[in-house]
Every structure is written in C-alpha cells, then in structure tokens.
Amino acid sequence: MRNEDLPAIYFRSVNALLIALGLLLIASPATAQVDDDDLDEDEDGLEDLGEDIGTVSAWLLGLTLAYFAWKRLLPVARKELKDKQQTDRLKRLNSLNKKAIPVHTILGVAALVTGIAHGLMVGGGPLMLWVAVALMGILSVSGGLMRWRWPPREIKRGARLLHMQRLLSVAVVILLLVGHEMA
C-alpha cells in the first residue's frame, strides 16, 4: 500500500463510521416520538438523554469488541483462500483487514467518550462502572500507542502486550454488566 492511499482509506473509514453512528442515533430511543414533557430542560430530560447515549455507547462497545471475532476468523479465511488458490479474494481480504483496524480504533474511542458522557449525565453510578471506564481508557491509550509512529519500539511492545490482553476486555464487560445491575 502506498502512503498516498492512506488519506483516502482513512477518509472512507471515517465516512463509514459516521454513517454507522448516524444510523445508530436514528435507531436509538433518543429520536423516538417525543412528548412535550420530554422537552423540559430539567434533570430528568438530561438523564433520559444520558440513557439514550448509554445505549449508543453499548452498541459502539459491542461493535468494537466484534473486532476480536474478526481477528479469530481471519486466519481461517486466509488459509481457506490460500488452499483454494484464490489470490484475488485473499488480497481483498487483507485489504479489508487493514481498513478494519482504524474503524476498530475509532469505534473504541467513540465508545469511551459516549460511555463517559452517559455516566456523567445519569449521575455517576457505582465505582465499579468507573473502573470499567478506566479500563476502557487504558485499552484506548494502549491501542493508540500501537498505531502511532512516534513511540519507541519498547513502548509499542508494552502497549501491544497490554492492549492484547483479552482479560481487560472481559473485565470491562463484566464490570459494566454487574455495575449496571447495581445502579
């Protein structure tokens, strides 16, 4: 891949993400039929909006975590295409994989930001939920360090080891589920 192609790929990825986010927002309860009572500028309206943002955040987190399934299926698909000598499809699959990484990154950061907004708008919640948000932040920062060109090799290696720990992602999901049950 040439360096000239990178801006076009990122632009298409961001456009696809914005379309997906738009569809999620359209499908969310935030855009459902609104009563005049819901338009009041009181705390209940803010809390209702916070709940809707939480729904969007949950979808974003789910889409972010779907990348794990993609990474598990990728070697199987590559092997199958190599065995059948379908080099054109293999090239397209590898190209798609390179496009999936920035989308995964953007979705993860969007899930973190909307999760924080959700927590602040609904009034906090148990400490367990904020620990989950902190772990999401660690995953986002370590993922960003893996993608940037600046960090030295040792930092990237440590970020990769941290980011690739499935236990962190599992802990985030468990803490969010249990914490929301407590709230």
* pLDDT score of 65 more than 90: yes
Q: Which residues neighbour 155 within 8 Å (Cβ) at sequence distance 6 or greater?
A: 145
Amino acid 144: pLDDT:
87
Whether pLDDT at 127 is above 90: yes
**In the predicted structure, residue 13 carries a pLDDT above the cut 70:** no
pLDDT digits (tens, 9 = 90+) for 155-171: 888 888 889 888 999 99
Helices (H) and strands (E) in the chain, counts: 6, 0
What are the angstrom distances between the C-alpha of 134 and each of 5, 55, 137, 139? Answer: 35, 19, 5, 9
**Is residue 3 over pLDDT 70?**
no
Confidence (pLDDT) at 126: 92
Instruction: Give the residue-averaged pLDDT of 175-180.
Output: 94
**Cβ contacts of residue 179 below 8 Å, gap of 6+?**
125, 126, 128, 129, 132
Mean pLDDT confidence for 65-79? 91
Instruction: Tell me which residue of 45, 49, 46 sits closest to 31, measured CA to CA.
Output: 49
Tokens representing residue 80 in the block: 């199958």
